[in-house]
Structure 1
Amino acid sequence: MTAHMQRREFLTLLGGAAVGCPFAARAEQSGRMRRIGVLLPAVPDDPVWQARLGAFLQGLAVLGWAIGRNVHIDIRWGTPSADEIRKQAEQLVALAPDVILAGGASSVGPLLQATRTVPIVFAIAADPVGAGHVDSLARPGGNATGFTIFEFSIGGKWLELLQQVAPGVTRVAVLRDATQATAMSVFAAIQSAAPSLRMEVIPVNLRSAEEIEQSVES
């Protein structure tokens, strides 16, 4: 597999359905055991991530992937620690898997630092473009692809909705955490939509509940 695989090729190994012939069936015919790496940013007894992992394994089984028969799965629990996630990412890449599933956004960066050739599929990412994980949503490029949980252009829609609810409003304060790439991307969409709505947006930077209360009161 090359570093510049197409999005469909990435998801084929995890999804098990290539055009014309199921990937799982082809793996059995070739006699080769496929290897999937899984990196989860949590402790092993985390009930939420245990449930997500269970759903993933169940989905593979439904698609014809049987552990020990045509697929081997290496699971690494990185815990919330950045250093531990980085360590587990390096160890996982060293096993030479066919593809790696990054369970959370915090797993993607360390995996990309460890390899630029092994395909990486991330299940949850708020801003993969802003984080530098992919070139764009339409054309990810590189060796990473996956799913985003947010469409930042909705920020402009929020401003439109506000104008409909309160037509007389011309100045809007936007509370944001300037240290978060996601917050900055949403604000950029709001700021871009403001001129056409004849509205002025004022950024208010904050990082705690106390700062939110102070900003609202002022």
Structure 2
Amino acid sequence: MIRRLRLCVLLALASWFAVSSFFGSFAAEPSQKIARVGFVGTESRSTSLRGVPQFFARLRELGWVEGQNIVVEARWADGDYNRLPELMTDVVARNIDVLVTSTTPAAIAAKKVTSTVPIVVVAMGDPVGMGLVNSLSRPGGNLTGLSLQWADLSGKWVELLQEAIPRLSTVAVISNPASPIITKVAKDLQAIAAQRGVKLVFQDVREPAAFPDAFRRARQHAQAALVLADPLVLAARDQITALAAANRLPALYVSHEFMVSGGLMTYAVDSRIMFRRAAEYVDKILRGARPGDLPIEQPTQLSLAVNLKTAKALGITIPESILLRADEVIR
């Protein structure tokens, strides 16, 4: 009886120590910090790029789940440059751990607002030339991300238009001159077009209301259009592709987003690839990496897409040489 009582006491004590040890070690673990991510979209929520949902999907795959271990402070500029500084200031004031945005104008606005909060930028153009970073391999400072070297693509855009449109002599370049990178790309385009015997006529747009007149003039003076993307242009992509169709003007776009809206042709990097990669940058920063040590990447997965439905409506035939090289053909 005494032996059985001693055994019961020993078992009770062992159970108590085990439970105490479990809860003691649990209580001793520091509670996991909730990460705070600021996200400033250059378009509106309803017109955001296809890559934006992929950014959040990739974050979840990496273990960052809203409502559990991450809070996202999202703001939208609706394609208006003037709103970017205010939106950046607002999210930075929320004590965020990292700020995410896209395009060169947004990168410039973010850099002006904070020199301490890590910044991850998607699809910025020539960050070294724009003075945003010291170098691509070691950016330094608080900004990193993914860069599009449009200067390297300019020749390909002109070449594709020449191949698609027989006897092409004049191309209308529709763009927003308020974008710093657009001004630089325009110079590169002029030099390349001159070498290929093509004249460029620039149609400037600084607000959505200017697009109808820009396309009307483009149709009068050119056989095709090249539409350069920036926040204003991307936010108006449905309007732009509709105007190209109404004016029966073949156009090449430098963003795949326009293909969803019925665009004729594009040669660019898919935003879904870039935003997923940006999520991986954010993951590294939230786990302790310094943005200045993360090299800025230049995506190499460029793809060519052609919409044959749009081509038929415009009354043009896309050459077999282009279709054979196309990564996506919409029929």
- TM-score, scaled relative to structure 2: 0.43
- The residue aligned with 1:8 is none
2:154 and 2:192 in contact (8 A); partners too: no
Equivalent residue in structure 2 for 1:212, among 194, 218, 222: 218
- % identical aligned pairs: 28
User: Which of the pair has more CA radius of gyration?
Assistant: 2
How many equivalent pairs are there?
182
User: Deviation of residue 120 (structure 1)?
Assistant: 0.9
User: Deviation of residue 203 (structure 1)?
Assistant: 4.6
Instruction: Measure the CA separation in 2 of the matches of 1:81 and 1:55.
Output: 23
**CA separation of 1:82 and 1:55: change in aligned 2, threshold 3 A:** same
SS in 2 for 1:38: strand
User: Deviation of residue 143 (structure 1)?
Assistant: 2.2
In the alignment, does 2:35 pair up with 1:38?
A: no
Instruction: Measure the CA separation in 2 of the matches of 1:162 and 1:84.
Output: 35
In the alignment, does 2:54 pair up with 1:55?
A: yes
1:27-106 counterparts in 2 under 5 A? 31-43=32-44, 46-49=45-48, 52-106=51-105
Instruction: Measure the CA separation in 2 of the matches of 1:39 and 1:178.
Output: 20
**CA separation of 1:186 and 1:148: change in aligned 2, threshold 3 A:** farther
Deviation digits for residues 34-79 of structure 1 (CA, Å, limit 9, x no counterpart): 3211112344xx3343965443222111111233443332222333
2:172 and 2:222 in contact (8 A); partners too: no
2:102 and 2:124 in contact (8 A); partners too: no
1:194 and 1:200 in contact (8 A); partners too: yes
Instruction: Measure the CA separation in 1 of the matches of 2:192 and 2:33.
Output: 51
User: Deviation of residue 87 (structure 1)?
Assistant: 1.6
| Aligned residue type for 1:97 | I
1:63-212 counterparts in 2 under 5 A? 63-126=62-125, 128-129=127-128, 131-135=130-134, 137-149=136-148, 151-157=150-156, 175-176=172-173, 179=177, 181-182=181-182, 184-185=184-185, 187-188=187-188, 191=191, 202-207=199-204, 208-212=214-218
1:156 and 1:190 in contact (8 A); partners too: no
Deviation digits for residues 13-48 of structure 1 (CA, Å, limit 9, x no counterpart): xxxxxxxxxxxxxxx9884333211112344xx334
1:102 and 1:121 in contact (8 A); partners too: yes
SS in 2 for 1:49: coil
Compare 56-65 and 128-137 and name the one that shifted more: 128-137
1:191 and 1:201 in contact (8 A); partners too: no
Instruction: Measure the CA separation in 1 of the matches of 2:66 and 2:161.
Output: 52
**CA separation of 1:61 and 1:160: change in aligned 2, threshold 3 A:** closer
| Aligned residue type for 2:83 | E
Q: More helix per residue: 1 or 2?
A: 2
- The residue aligned with 1:22 is none
Unpaired stretches in structure 2, ≥5 consecutive residues: 1-28, 205-213, 224-331
Instruction: Measure the CA separation in 2 of the matches of 1:155 and 1:121.
Output: 25
Instruction: Measure the CA separation in 1 of the matches of 2:58 and 2:222.
Output: 46
SS in 2 for 1:47: coil
Unpaired stretches in structure 1, ≥5 consecutive residues: 1-27
- TM-score, scaled relative to structure 1: 0.60
1:153 and 1:186 in contact (8 A); partners too: no
